[in-house]
Structure 1
Amino acid sequence: MADPLTEIVTLLHPTARFSKRLEGAGHWRIEREGQGDPFYAAVLQGQCRLSVDAGPPVILQAGDFVLAPAVHTLVNTSLHAPPDTPASLPVHLGENQFRIGTPDGPAELHMQIGHCQFGSPDAALLVPLLPQLVRVRGQARLAALVQMVGEESRAQRPGRDVVLERLLDVLLIEALRSQSGPADGGLVRGLADERLAGALRSMHARPGHGWSVAGLAQEAALSRSAFSARFTRVLGIAPMEYLLTWRMALAKRLLRAGGLGLEQVAERVGYASAETFSVAFARHAGMSPARFLRHA
């Protein structure tokens, strides 16, 4: 059976932007605005408070790993910083190391922080299928992966980009499947539901099958109405809308890869003819498959 989580992370095509070591002492506050790119951090020593996109703040401690697949606003503070603590910028110490707060004395916090971006043109559709914030506690392998990403991003060795791409794939998949506590929604929560997991894996294993809500409900051993309501509640998207999103993302990958005619691509993603596929693709992507290829 297909692994939907691996397929979606791979299709998102994560690429590294930068990774840095941050140390902090005293009272401090960092405020950042982003473009919806992924952010991750491993707390190596100490504690701090983190809030993403105006969500409730979470307390992070040594051994914690946190991943936010899409960040627009980020607030990071020392654990006991007063509410009126002004925001400031970390000071560059050299070698991708930064310090925030009191400039002198021993650091109370050490974090490895990284930013990456998704190369997929469908990132805006696929990212909402992931949890808004993932926190993992006590998984040393994640901290090791973050350190490897940081080391590789600073090196100029042959094959650097390929190694970084693979490391980021592993990092994101490992974080998503290892998160502490239940997911807040999306694909991870759906895969944790034993009834919905079967339907999700079937959709990914056979995207060209003529799926209907009734057929997917049968995969989940639920009635049609119960399946539809449960799927929409857990994943935040209706079953056939999820299937369309996956099919079109897959179609774009097949079109960019070349080697297949339009009829073959249409068949692989569940359409009876190139004409019906082209109409659906244009409605979804805002352009015909031929124009998409010219701009890919």
Structure 2
Amino acid sequence: MIDPLAEIVTMLQPRLPFSKAASGSGSWRVDGDGDGRPVFAVMLEGAARLAVNDQPEIELREGDFILIPAADRFVMSNNGNRAPPATDPLRVTMLADETRHGDPEGAPNMRILIGRLAFASPDSTLVFALLPCLLHIRGQSRLTALVQMIRNEAQNQRPARDIILERLLQVLLIEALRSDAAALETPGLLRGLADRQLAGAIRLMHEDPARSWTVEELAKVATLSRSVFFDRFQKQTGMAPMEYLQSWRMALAKDMLRRRDGGIKTIAQRVGYGSASAFSVAFSRFVGMAPSQYTASGEAELKTAGEPQP
């Protein structure tokens, strides 16, 4: 049976262009611009306060995991004493194995591992667009262990390093996305899959995207009336059923075009279009460019997906 979440995460082909260890001592603060890229982190020691994209502050404690699907702006600071600092709180010092914020010589009150994600496939909206601006997970030691393994693998040039990193990142994303903190916060795929009656319909759309599905057929699979199914699907996933089906078809088409997995006519048939021209019109309307243009732009993205970022 097709697992939509695993299928989407596998298609994303996650990469790790950048990771680092950081610590804070005394009074410290980090004002950051994340340029809209996804970022994850795990608190190894101590505590801190974090505000993302101008949202209210949250407290981070030892063992906490965070995933920021689109990090535009964030402020992170020490949690506790707010007395006038002896050292500039914005001071940054490069130590032997980590970046130190605040007092370079004091005992750390926070230690964190941070990683930036990139995707060979740009269809991250399928997973991230409907998630909260900050996914905060507490008490899952598996995530802490995974981040440490990813950091260790990234620091060593061992055989098959890139494959191992991609697999570890896939597991990390799946563990985070299927957590209770992710599944019920906002409408999205995960809430749809958590709904037993909708899950079967979603799986069938993934299993046979070329089929000419109708709302009536999908509602029958869910054992719901057409109107109830439509309203429930939209409420749980944030999309109408046919809108979700088209999004998935286009994600598949973009993936096949990037990999040059067949000609336009073949790809059109595999994603449910009767002709290459009908597919081209739909693709251009959905993506904003013709399939041939997308193939060329996709090749450029694949070349840069794994390049290190500052």
TM over 0.5: yes
Q: Deviations over 1:24-74 (max 9, x none)?
A: 223322121122211111112222122222223222211211112221111
From 210, 227, 242, give the equivalent of 2:212: 210
Equivalent residue for 1:13? 13
Shift of 1:243: 1.3
Given that 2:210 and 2:269 are in contact with CA atoms closer than 8 Å, whether structure 1 keeps it comes out as: yes
Shift of 1:84: 10
CA distance in 2: counterparts of 1:138 and 1:14, whole angstroms? 24
Residue type of the alignment partner of 2:226: R
Equivalent residue for 1:173? 174
Distance 1:55 1:191, change over 3 A: farther
Equivalent residue for 2:4? 4
CA distance in 1: counterparts of 2:68 and 2:281, whole angstroms? 35
Which has the higher mean CA deviation after the structures are superposed, 219-228 or 61-70? 219-228
Residue type of the alignment partner of 2:135: V
Q: Secondary structure at the match of 1:114?
A: strand
TM-score by length of 2: 0.86
Q: Secondary structure at the match of 1:2?
A: coil
Equivalent residue for 2:203? 201
TM-score by length of 1: 0.90
CA distance in 1: counterparts of 2:241 and 2:78, whole angstroms? 42
CA distance in 2: counterparts of 1:132 and 1:198, whole angstroms? 28
CA distance in 2: counterparts of 1:184 and 1:142, whole angstroms? 21
Q: Which runs of 5+ in 2 are unaligned?
A: 299-310
- 2:52 is equivalent to residue 56 of structure 1: no
> How many aligned residue pairs are there?
295
Distance 1:200 1:144, change over 3 A: same
Equivalent residue for 2:305? none
Q: Secondary structure at the match of 2:95?
A: strand
From 274, 292, 295, give the equivalent of 1:272: 274
Distance 1:222 1:51, change over 3 A: farther
CA distance in 2: counterparts of 1:56 and 1:245, whole angstroms? 32
- 2:193 is equivalent to residue 191 of structure 1: yes
Equivalent residue for 2:108? 107
Equivalent residue for 1:219? 221
Shift of 1:224: 2.0
CA distance in 2: counterparts of 1:213 and 1:206, whole angstroms? 15
Equivalent residue for 2:160? 159
CA distance in 2: counterparts of 1:87 and 1:124, whole angstroms? 36
Residue type of the alignment partner of 1:49: R
CA distance in 2: counterparts of 1:292 and 1:122, whole angstroms? 13
Residue type of the alignment partner of 1:10: T
CA distance in 2: counterparts of 1:73 and 1:87, whole angstroms? 18
CA distance in 2: counterparts of 1:91 and 1:38, whole angstroms? 25
Distance 1:83 1:34, change over 3 A: farther
Describe how 1:1-296 pairs up with structure 2 within 5 A.
1-80=1-80, 82=82, 88=90, 90-95=92-97, 97-124=98-125, 127-180=128-181, 182-296=184-298
CA distance in 1: counterparts of 2:237 and 2:62, whole angstroms? 31
Given that 2:27 and 2:89 are in contact with CA atoms closer than 8 Å, whether structure 1 keeps it comes out as: no
Given that 1:29 and 1:81 are in contact with CA atoms closer than 8 Å, whether structure 2 keeps it comes out as: no
Q: Deviations over 1:229-257 (max 9, x none)?
A: 22222222222222111111101112232
CA distance in 2: counterparts of 1:106 and 1:75, whole angstroms? 22
Distance 1:83 1:252, change over 3 A: farther
Given that 2:91 and 2:103 are in contact with CA atoms closer than 8 Å, whether structure 1 keeps it comes out as: no
Q: Deviations over 1:143-166 (max 9, x none)?
A: 111111111212222322222112
Given that 2:28 and 2:91 are in contact with CA atoms closer than 8 Å, whether structure 1 keeps it comes out as: no
Distance 1:80 1:117, change over 3 A: same
Residue type of the alignment partner of 1:94: A
Q: Secondary structure at the match of 1:108?
A: strand
